[in-house]
Amino acid sequence: MLVGGLVLAGVAAPALLSPYLRSLALAILADVVLAVSWSLFSGPTRYLSLATGAFWGAGAYLTAVVGGRAPWPVPVLLGGAVGAGIALMVGGLALRLRGPYFAIFTFGLAELAKHALIWYETGVTGTVGRLLLTQPRPATLYYTVLALAALAVTTAVLLRRSRWGYALVAIGGDEERAETLGINTMAVKIATFALSAAFMGAAGAAMAPRWTYLDPQVFNPLVSFQTVIMALLGGVGTVAGPIVGAVFLGLASELLLLNFRYVYLLGLGLTLIVVVLALPSGLAGLWTIMLSRRQQEHRGA
Amino acid sequence: MQPALLLDLVVGGLITGGLYALVALGLNLQYGLMRVLNVAHGEFLMLGGYLTYTLHTSWGVNPLLTVLVTGPAAFGAGLGLHRLLYARVLEAGESAEALEARSLLLSFGLLFVLQNAALLLWSADLRGYSYLAVPLRFLGAVFPANRVLAAAVALFLSVAFYLFLKRSLAGKAIRALMQDPEGAQLVGVDLRRTHARCFGVGVAMATVAGSLVSMLFELTPFIGLPYTVTALVVVILGGLGNLLGSLVAALILGLVETFSVHLAASDIRLIASYAVLSLILILKPSGLLGR
């Protein structure tokens, strides 16, 4: 029932909300897509990916390049394809690395892509950015991102209960043992990495029309970090966790980022530290702990 | 290539490399000993620069002497941070992998906190001062005196720390902990205290390097991350946990950079260092000089 209510509210929102609130809802939905799709791969496998900004940026830049030449949902589909394509290309190399090496490599990759694009745009094409002149209607944009979010959540729910999902958990627990048990760990890792990147690329492509001007700075490492913090704050152990985290931080960033940028980013850092030290299973985990405590009290009484 | 130009580039490269060595040694010490990949390392360099800038411009303290303040202050801050953050993660007694992931996340949090605190305190404007900007002639080539001085101090500290590790009993204890934590504790090395002190020393190295950097270049709160990346390249090039490797790799990287900037263009520098970082990670994660 809760799910039905949420879906109804999501669908009815554009008609009920003011333009400002609708744009806020749009931003939060995009955050939900990122946090849920990040947790899809990094949650069970515990591979800490900092490449979110690269996939997101590739999708967004693609929309800017394609511009008005293709009818609307096409850039989004292409963005998803590009995200998945990049993930497939680098996944084979990157996913041989473990622990901090993987994190640093994905971070370096996003920065490399950004600086190479800046160099290419200034040196070869002679532009530093691109204008997005034709834009879909706000309601179209909203429903696109809503559909992406619904798709990401559904995928996450289905994946958790599938053999594929169990394979991912096994990889996170002990990769060598998983391999011995007959799981093709490399294939599972690459496929899931690409699936999660497809959502990130599509989200970037769908959100690009929000800005009328795009430059390579859209390959923003902040997007990568914010996604990790959202997912960890909410808790990657459940599907609801990343959603809670995305709504929470999405609201905070929308309210604070423009006017109190440094305070917000400082708070983001503090949040990460507190979550790592005190809330290893996130807000969702806290909720579960509180529930079980209450049940214990009931039983005691 | 003319001999004067060659000398110019070689000495220039060694000057750059000397600074890199000091920055990278601190990072490698922290990783090699306690598996903390401290991506906030460059932020301490940035803070050291601002501290020296403030001491010099507000109280007229000689920039070189500020090292006597910034070094110990950073050591103290490092002890505090270790106790407050990293010791807790370390003592949770998890697998090495989970420990590395959590301490990496902590460092990212720290990076955000420090960089934005600096932005609130000093704003994003360029800050700088002029110190010893006089030419120094040497065999027909000319070098700014402040760069030679900064590199000399950085190299001196790096080599001194290396000798301390190799020759002194305390250094021996640190190396023992790196090789075999359990064995070292069995013969009476205090793990917790050594960790805390080494973390402090690592932070102090970055901060002192920052004090030196402030004599050469203008500061912004964003200068930290490029130094962290460079230090990562150096550490991975020389092998994680291999301090002599870092020292050699830093000098090599300094030379390579100076020559490539001379031969190509300077805007290729960042692309090159990220590309080198990615390539080494893929091809030889144990480092070029690693076992």
Task: Report residues of chain B scoring pLDDT below 70.
Answer: 1, 93, 139-140, 264-269, 284-291
Q: Which of A90, A272, A275 to substitute to test the interface with B, most B CBs within 10 Å?
A: A272
Smallest Cβ–Cβ distance between B278 and the set A99, A112, A263 belongs to: A112
A103 neighbourhood in chain B, CB within 8 Å: 101, 104
**CB of B39 closer than 8 Å to CB of B111:** yes
Is A48 close to B101, i.e. CB distance below 8 A? yes
Establish if A139 belongs to a structural domain.
Answer: yes
B270 CB neighbour count, 10 Å cutoff = 19
Smallest Cβ–Cβ distance between A100 and the set B100, B120, B277 belongs to: B100
- The residue of chain B with its CA nearest to that of A262 is B116
**CB of A78 closer than 8 Å to CB of A202:** no
Q: Within an 8 Å CB–CB cutoff, is residue A96 touching chain B?
A: yes
Model confidence at A282, in pLDDT bands (50, 70, 90)? Answer: confident
What is the SS3 assignment for B142?
strand
B232 neighbourhood in chain A, CB within 8 Å: 104
Please report how many Cα atoms fall inside a 13 Å half-sphere around the Cα of residue B260, on the Cβ side.
14
Is B111 close to A228, i.e. CB distance below 8 A? no
Token digits for B47?
A: 């803070």
Q: What is the reported pLDDT for B287? A: 59
Q: How far apart are CA A243 and CA A14, in angstroms?
A: 20
Q: What is the reported pLDDT for A158? A: 93
Q: What is the reported pLDDT for B184? A: 83
**CB of A36 closer than 8 Å to CB of A92:** no
User: Which residues touch A162 (CB under 8 Å, ≥6 apart)?
Assistant: none
Model confidence at A299, in pLDDT bands (50, 70, 90)? Answer: low
**In this model, does residue A10 exceed pLDDT 60?**
yes
CA distances to A3, A152, A162, A243, A281 from A157, rounded to whole Å, are 12, 9, 9, 12, 18
pLDDT of A201-260, one tens digit each?
A: 999 999 988 877 788 878 888 888 889 888 988 888 888 889 998 998 888 887 787 778
Whole-number percent of chain B with pLDDT over 90:
23
Per DSSP, A213 falls in state E
Find the mean pLDDT for residues A168-174.
87
Q: For residue B123, is it left (φ>0), alpha (ψ between -120 and 50) or beta? A: left
* C-alpha distance from B134 to closest chain A C-alpha (Å): 35
Mark out chain B residues that contact chain A at CB-CB < 8 A: 37, 85, 88-89, 97-98, 100-102, 104-106, 108-117, 119-120, 229, 232, 267-268, 270-271, 274-275, 277-278, 281-282, 285
Residue A217's beta-bridge partner residues?
A: none
Specify the DSSP element, H or E, that contains A156.
helix A138-160
Tally of structural domains, chain A: 1
Is B120 close to A228, i.e. CB distance below 8 A? no
Type of residue numbered A293? R
pLDDT averaged over every residue in chain A:
84
User: Which residues touch A99 (CB under 8 Å, ≥6 apart)?
Assistant: B97, B100, B101
Q: Within an 8 Å CB–CB cutoff, is residue A99 touching chain B?
A: yes
ipTM, 2 dp: 0.83
Smallest Cβ–Cβ distance between B278 and the set A105, A225, A272 belongs to: A105
Type of residue numbered A75? P
**CB of B42 closer than 8 Å to CB of B227:** yes
Smallest Cβ–Cβ distance between B271 and the set A116, A263, A273 belongs to: A116
- The residue of chain A with its CA nearest to that of B113 is A266
What is the SS3 assignment for A214?
strand
Q: Strand B141-144 to strand B135-138: parallel, antiparallel, or no bridges (unpaired)?
A: antiparallel
Is A104 close to B277, i.e. CB distance below 8 A? yes
Q: How far apart are CA A38 and CA A233, in angstroms?
A: 13
Per DSSP, A174 falls in state -
Type of residue numbered B255? L
Q: Which of B89, B105, B230, B273 to substitute to test the interface with A, most A CBs within 10 Å?
A: B105
User: pTM, whole model, 2 decimals?
Assistant: 0.84
DSSP count for chain B of H helices, then E strands = 12, 2
Q: Which of A47, A89, A111 to substitute to test the interface with B, most B CBs within 10 Å?
A: A111
The structure tokens 């460092």 sit at B107
List phi, psi (to 5°) of B62.
Answer: -60, 125
Please report how many Cα atoms fall inside a 13 Å half-sphere around the Cα of residue A257, on the Cβ side.
12
Give the residue with greater pLDDT, A117 vs A16.
Answer: A117
Please report how many Cα atoms fall inside a 13 Å half-sphere around the Cα of residue B79, on the Cβ side.
8
Q: Pinpoint the alpha helices (H) of B35-168.
A: 41-59, 67-81, 87-91, 96-122, 145-167
Establish if A173 belongs to a structural domain.
Answer: yes
Q: Tell me which range, A8-22, A62-76, B64-78, B276-290, is most confidently predicted by mean pLDDT.
A: B64-78
**CB of A202 closer than 8 Å to CB of A80:** yes
CA distances to A37, A174, A180 from A205, rounded to whole Å, are 15, 36, 40
Establish if A66 belongs to a structural domain.
Answer: yes
**In this model, does residue A134 exceed pLDDT 80?**
no
DSSP letter string over B51-76?
HHHHHHHHH---TTTTHHHHHHHHHH
* C-alpha distance from B171 to closest chain A C-alpha (Å): 27
Establish if A250 belongs to a structural domain.
Answer: no
Q: What is the reported pLDDT for A293? A: 75
Give the residue with greater pLDDT, B97 vs A168.
Answer: A168
The structure tokens 């209960």 sit at A161
Is B268 close to A269, i.e. CB distance below 8 A? no
Smallest Cβ–Cβ distance between A273 and the set B104, B106, B268 belongs to: B106
Residue B127's beta-bridge partner residues?
A: B219
- The residue of chain B with its CA nearest to that of A263 is B116
Q: Is the dihedral of CA B92, B93, B95, B97 positive or negative?
A: positive
Q: What is the reported pLDDT for B76? A: 95
Q: What is the reported pLDDT for A200? A: 96
Establish if A272 belongs to a structural domain.
Answer: no
Per DSSP, A17 falls in state S
B104 neighbourhood in chain A, CB within 8 Å: 48, 100, 103
Q: What is the reported pLDDT for B291? A: 47
Smallest Cβ–Cβ distance between B101 and the set A99, A105, A266 belongs to: A99
pLDDT of A77-103, one tens digit each?
A: 899 999 999 999 888 888 888 777 888
Q: How far apart are CA B173 and CA B164, in angstroms?
A: 11
Q: Within an 8 Å CB–CB cutoff, is residue A105 touching chain B?
A: yes
Closest residue by Cα to residue A40 from A93, A86, A84, A92? A84
A96 neighbourhood in chain B, CB within 8 Å: 282
Establish if A165 belongs to a structural domain.
Answer: yes
Question: CB pairs below 8 Å between A and B: how many?
Answer: 102
**CB of B234 closer than 8 Å to CB of B277:** no
Type of residue numbered A55? F
Smallest Cβ–Cβ distance between A277 and the set B85, B104, B119 belongs to: B85
Model confidence at A2, in pLDDT bands (50, 70, 90)? Answer: low
User: Which residues touch A45 (CB under 8 Å, ≥6 apart)?
Assistant: A168, A171, A172, A189, A192
**In this model, does residue A127 exceed pLDDT 80?**
no
**In this model, does residue A15 exceed pLDDT 80?**
no
**Angle (nearest 5°) at CA B52 between B58 and B136:** 110
Establish if A297 belongs to a structural domain.
Answer: no
B110 neighbourhood in chain A, CB within 8 Å: 269, 273
Q: Which of A236, A273, A275 to substitute to test the interface with B, most B CBs within 10 Å?
A: A273
Establish if A229 belongs to a structural domain.
Answer: no
pLDDT of A219-230, one tens digit each?
A: 888 888 889 888
Q: Within an 8 Å CB–CB cutoff, is residue A103 touching chain B?
A: yes
The dihedral over CA atoms of B67, B43, B129, B155, expressed in degrees to the nearest 10, equals 50
pLDDT averaged over every residue in chain B:
84
* C-alpha distance from A269 to closest chain B C-alpha (Å): 4
**CB of A222 closer than 8 Å to CB of A229:** no
**CB of B193 closer than 8 Å to CB of B275:** no
Domain assignment of residue A175, given as a range: 2-220
Closest residue by Cα to residue B209 from B56, B67, B60, B111? B67
Model confidence at A73, in pLDDT bands (50, 70, 90)? Answer: confident
B3-283 is a CATH 1.10.3470 domain:
yes
